[in-house]
Structure 1
């Protein structure tokens, strides 16, 4: 199975000597759904930001779809992200003055690419938003806004979608719908999703879980259940002195 994302000995140190990543090596295969978890301060958000090209690691290398992201200039990295990487964030990151359709095609416009309107509408139809193309985000529920964000992530045909706490702002029903949608994107459409989450129930929707503690890999779990994830997190919390 081809690895869509490869991280080689990633280090990230911030001013003041704080080490957020301490030699992390990991791979994310094509067509996989991986959750990244760990106690607060474990480095999981930093891992996502460095893997996605939103931040540059202090040391190590990042490969996405065979291209070394860390070997490019900041400008080239930005262009690469616009064409090969999709993002879903906790707070949706939708522009309030743009309609649903305009928000979805925004990455294509920023990349100087022409939007295929039929395909955009097909994606929105698939996500249950076909009748909301002209609506502004303020008229949508939280779950609907997150589905718009997922549609925006899909429209550029990215190699990988990075999701940072995508259900953190949603009620239980909407969270379940979004997680089911992410899982179907992987299993039915062959996409690759890497999701940072603090929620064992959310992690149980993934194919596997990668655990971090103190900026280092602290194990993994395949075919996770919420109970198994919670138990592993509790031990990680004991280890770093943080309650799970």
Structure 2
């Protein structure tokens, strides 16, 4: 069985530590008859150095899974581990430190600060953490995302695709354990989206990065090692080396069952 397929399967306690592991994770919003069960007893593990798509119909729980896995939201029950660190036992100060130092984020909205240059936006997580930039690593990241001649520009001077490249570089510059991407190509045209997915693919293949990406796009999923499908807050299937056609079929079946 390939490492890509194992990326979404629960793994036994004796297996090597995953980059991210969820065990029995549930997330409920509200109480009583109006309660929304966004996640229900989810087990999932994502080995280091893999690129995984998290997919499902609207309301399936995919964004909630990402938020819990990244320490942005607390599960109602269960355990979330980043490496060996148990996020569910941490206070807000500890979680904020983990997110600054060990997690990278790429969102559909680029979330760049308009008053800062490209270079300043990229190194912002390091500045917030009180760390100096590794200049050689910074040069490599900037070169890999194709922004070596844009570091002095401000976001308003860039195209949407270039702004998302800045966001990818910002996510990589801290050498995080995991990059979480939530619909990172949702606001981009198809050609630019393909470029951004290629960057994330390269980060995994060449830099050993772990990427977990929420997406609704079968074409985006086809760039990953594995796809995890959710429906009704539960894991509803896995697919190794996904193709756009097979992902489309899986999603159609899940929509019919939702």
TM-score bracket relative to the smaller structure:
over 0.9
Quote the offset at 1:115 in angstroms: 1.9
The CA distance in 2 between the partners of 1:181 and 1:120, in whole Å, is 15
Report the 3-state secondary structure (helix = DSSP H, G, I; strand = E; otherwise coil) of the residue aligned with 1:188.
Answer: helix
2:170 counterpart of 1:155:
no
The residue aligned with 2:204 is 186
Aligned length: 240
SS in 2 for 1:128: coil
Check whether the contact 1:20–1:42 (CA below 8 A) recurs between aligned residues: yes
Does residue 132 in structure 1 map to residue 150 in structure 2?
yes
Structure 2: gaps spanning 5 or more residues? 1-15
Asked whether the equivalents of residues 99 and 137 of structure 1 are also in contact (C-alpha less than 8 Å), the reply is yes
Matched, 1:11 2:29: no
**Contact persistence 1:137–1:145 (CA under 8 A):** yes
Match 1:56 to one of 67, 74, 89: 74
Q: Secondary structure at the residue paired with 2:207?
A: coil
Task: Show the 5 A alignment for 1:81-160.
Answer: 81-160=99-178
Stretches of 4+ aligned residues off by more than 4 angstroms: none
Q: Contact conserved, 2:23 with 2:78, CA < 8 A, in 1?
A: yes
- Give 1:208's aligned residue: 226
Equivalent in 13, 22, 38 of residue 40 of structure 2: 22
Please state whether the residue corresponding to 2:19 is helix, strand or coil.
strand
- Is there any run of 5+ residues in structure 1 with no aligned partner, and where? none
Residue 171 in 1 paired to residue 189 in 2? Answer: yes
Structure 2 residue 246 is matched with structure 1 residue 228:
yes
C-alpha contact (below 8 Å) 2:17/2:84 kept by paired residues: no
Residue pair 1:101, 1:120 contacting (<8 A) in 2 also: no
**Structure 1 stretch displaced more, 58-67 or 161-170:** 58-67
State the alpha-carbon separation in 2 of the partners of residues 10 and 2 from structure 1: 18
What is the CA distance between 1:230 and its match in structure 2?
0.2
TM-score with structure 2 length normalisation? Answer: 0.91
Q: What RMSD over aligned residues (CA atoms) do the two structures have, in Å?
A: 0.9
Q: Supply the distance in 1 between the matched residues of 2:184 and 2:157 (Cα, whole angstroms).
A: 19
TM-score by length of 1: 0.96
